[in-house]
Structure 1
């Protein structure tokens, strides 16, 4: 019945062009993209191709021009990596050992000198496999937050920017292959369908569907142009911003930053359903997604009168991340700005659970190491090996608790 509903909805969308308000279809877009019928949208699968066609039809009904290499589509074929330390090899011929991904690209041509790129990846993990944190029988990973949420907000912005803020052109991109290593965005910057020298800046959205009550949102890449921080803060309203300077991170904005393009990446935080079958449609905060779309639209509008933004290189924070051989088995709250590392979730049968740690606990000390933030937590973790035992100090409801911990 669920698959029948999605099919009927899809046929309705592609056959009936309407004048939608900007809020109309965010939920409907997520419902389609995160349905079981698409079987998790793994790169190169029929489910991902169905999603790509759906996004292309959404662009078409809004009057957005195709800007791929074949209509709205830009296909790329690659050999899956067997060595994680080597770059992915793109190839021109299909074979039994290759995978073909599909970027979806739409364009609003305002005859302007510069173009703003607005993107989000739409692939996910399919039935699990590499990258999944699920333990147990094979299940569909629908990826509602990761990243049907970002894709839907990107489509929403496309509908809102049609005939608006015409001092720039707009390129809208749904990236394939992000979960396998930012492959779609990497391929595009090496094989662009527009002149990338005329790109003003790039906005990326990845996991924007879980805005919490405190309305905290992380924005990465704030340091990649001098205008960003002031603009973001002047328009934030009741959002609680966590600003990250670096243009490098685990999403598609990185590909553009490495091509000397200013970037902003929006993220509402990780959660217990990350890369699990439980990341589903009914768990998203749709009013929060509307608010994020409003915010990004206002940022674009504010920058619309500006000249082309200056690009600035930033410190690569990812190069400072230490290597570690063990894990605590928790989902960190990356939006937490207090002292310590707050736990946003725990995973079954892990050192954290065995030590009695719970969601909401704040780790203050790991062994002899003080934990003041995420970086100090990771540095502390890097000093331990499997089988080591130590003490962990947490704060829970204002009380400090010490527990035994075995890795």
Structure 2
């Protein structure tokens, strides 16, 4: 957990690199992922501090307020579990109702349609109400990658589009609340839009875009939600190794818009060993990668400026076909891996994989008698076992085949 003194270091480093980017994104992340915001849990004082910061940034960029109360769009809900005292500021009532607040800014170009650009700004607080993968003592989950990174890219895009001559659409920028509790803010917005939702051209979402790896892999979800997406994302790409997912349904806020027949693109640089842990901190982010993603999204918007409203297309929901399983290895899959097998991006202590000596970077190619060709094969393999079962797992490590025994 780092404090503001890191900013001085990052500014110095930025001055010594090139003129590729300024330090605005670092400043945004450092504020949003600071300990004093206590993990930005929905309805908490820390989330309110983050919301106030985003509003000030929107004002400086020149965005008009487009909420129901200025820049705010409030919504209320009852959590599955009672929130802790950190949520007390947010008009918490005796029935444990919580108030979340979307933060919404707007560029009115007088156009017929509007592009929605969003990223959630809430996170897990101290990790006590579910979602945390931290096994130690109570600690602040700062969520630098999840999702201060996405919010900072969104604000960078807002500043660029405000200054640009790309006027074929209006632009609505939204920092969603309640994503970690079930896409609550985005779901509320599509049902209670502060613009005419039917006039939405398309929606762009950024969630965890701060940890681009050396091979510059970038996952783009929703590429099947409009016939133009596939051609556009590849023709404009010169920097990334793109991994596509056609489905418009996924674990982030773009899903709410897709389910309302709006074309979506969701950008993601992959999960990692710090995901949903207190160690997801600002100094681990790849800021140059984040600027590259912002430039890439800007080029997509620019290319489509005179195309009118995009045609929407339904996509197959892969989750409906996914096998159900009762056991797990206790690993973090590498969702950006496109080779044969299932590559492991993290191993949880004291779970079956850890006990069997499986390591980060291992590629699982077989479980029992089941060949593991990809993520779906891995899930199919897991579905064949129940708690207490043992099986052999074959994996590749540094090009060599290794066999181990796993007990679920």
TM-score band (shorter)? over 0.9
CA distance in structure 2 between the partners assigned to 1:26 and 1:147 by the alignment: 13
1:193-243 CA distances to partner (integer Å, 9 max, x unpaired)? 000111000000000000001000100000000111100001110200001
Is 2:100–2:177's contact at 8 Å kept on the other side of the alignment? yes
The equivalent of 1:202 in structure 2 is: 203
The equivalent of 1:65 in structure 2 is: 64
Would the alpha carbon gap of residues 2 and 93 (structure 1) be closer, same or farther in structure 2, given more than 3 Å must change?
A: closer
The equivalent of 1:383 in structure 2 is: 384
Would the alpha carbon gap of residues 93 and 269 (structure 1) be closer, same or farther in structure 2, given more than 3 Å must change?
A: closer
The equivalent of 1:363 in structure 2 is: 364
The equivalent of 2:87 in structure 1 is: none
The equivalent of 1:166 in structure 2 is: 167
1:265 aligned counterpart, secondary structure: strand
1:144-180 CA distances to partner (integer Å, 9 max, x unpaired)? 0000000100011000000421111000000000000
The equivalent of 2:240 in structure 1 is: 239
Would the alpha carbon gap of residues 4 and 229 (structure 1) be closer, same or farther in structure 2, given more than 3 Å must change?
A: closer
What are the ranges of 5 or more consecutive residues in structure 1 without an aligned counterpart? 8-20, 83-91
The equivalent of 1:80 in structure 2 is: 79
2:39 aligned counterpart, secondary structure: coil
Would the alpha carbon gap of residues 125 and 366 (structure 1) be closer, same or farther in structure 2, given more than 3 Å must change?
A: same
CA distance in structure 1 between the partners assigned to 2:136 and 2:163 by the alignment: 49
Map residues 116-195 of structure 1 onto 2, 5 A cutoff. Answer: 116-129=115-128, 130-164=130-164, 165-195=166-196
What are the ranges of 5 or more consecutive residues in structure 2 without an aligned counterpart? 8-19, 82-90
Runs of 4+ aligned structure 1 residues displaced above 3 Å come to 1-7, 21-24, 92-96
1:79-110 CA distances to partner (integer Å, 9 max, x unpaired)? 1136xxxxxxxxx9944411110100000000
1:102 aligned counterpart, secondary structure: strand
2:377 aligned counterpart, secondary structure: helix
Is 1:77–1:94's contact at 8 Å kept on the other side of the alignment? no
CA distance in structure 2 between the partners assigned to 1:371 and 1:2 by the alignment: 40
CA distance in structure 1 between the partners assigned to 2:356 and 2:287 by the alignment: 35
The equivalent of 1:56 in structure 2 is: 55
The reply on whether 1:327 has 2:328 as its aligned counterpart is yes
Would the alpha carbon gap of residues 260 and 22 (structure 1) be closer, same or farther in structure 2, given more than 3 Å must change?
A: farther
2:404 aligned counterpart, secondary structure: strand
CA distance in structure 2 between the partners assigned to 1:402 and 1:272 by the alignment: 24
1:260 aligned counterpart, secondary structure: coil
- TM-aligned CA deviation for residue 6 of structure 1: 10
**TM-score, with length taken from structure 2:** 0.92
CA distance in structure 2 between the partners assigned to 1:175 and 1:266 by the alignment: 16
Is 2:92–2:98's contact at 8 Å kept on the other side of the alignment? no
The equivalent of 2:302 in structure 1 is: 301
Would the alpha carbon gap of residues 199 and 362 (structure 1) be closer, same or farther in structure 2, given more than 3 Å must change?
A: same
CA distance in structure 2 between the partners assigned to 1:337 and 1:297 by the alignment: 26
1:114-167 CA distances to partner (integer Å, 9 max, x unpaired)? 100000000000000200000010000000000000010001100000042111
The equivalent of 1:115 in structure 2 is: 114
CA distance in structure 1 between the partners assigned to 2:120 and 2:263 by the alignment: 18
The equivalent of 1:35 in structure 2 is: 34
Would the alpha carbon gap of residues 73 and 381 (structure 1) be closer, same or farther in structure 2, given more than 3 Å must change?
A: same
CA distance in structure 2 between the partners assigned to 1:3 and 1:353 by the alignment: 33
1:21-40 CA distances to partner (integer Å, 9 max, x unpaired)? 97441010000000001000
CA distance in structure 2 between the partners assigned to 1:343 and 1:93 by the alignment: 41
Is 1:77–1:93's contact at 8 Å kept on the other side of the alignment? no
The reply on whether 1:349 has 2:350 as its aligned counterpart is yes
CA distance in structure 2 between the partners assigned to 1:96 and 1:81 by the alignment: 12
1:316-351 CA distances to partner (integer Å, 9 max, x unpaired)? 112122221111011100000000000011111111
Question: Mean alpha-carbon deviation: is it higher for 22-31 or for 143-152?
Answer: 22-31
Across the two proteins, how many residue pairs are aligned to each other? Answer: 387
Is 1:395–1:401's contact at 8 Å kept on the other side of the alignment? yes
CA distance in structure 2 between the partners assigned to 1:163 and 1:294 by the alignment: 14
1:33-64 CA distances to partner (integer Å, 9 max, x unpaired)? 00001000000000000000100110001111
Say what the alpha-carbon RMSD is for the aligned residues: 2.0
CA distance in structure 2 between the partners assigned to 1:384 and 1:139 by the alignment: 34
2:99 aligned counterpart, secondary structure: strand
Would the alpha carbon gap of residues 214 and 93 (structure 1) be closer, same or farther in structure 2, given more than 3 Å must change?
A: closer
CA distance in structure 2 between the partners assigned to 1:401 and 1:2 by the alignment: 39
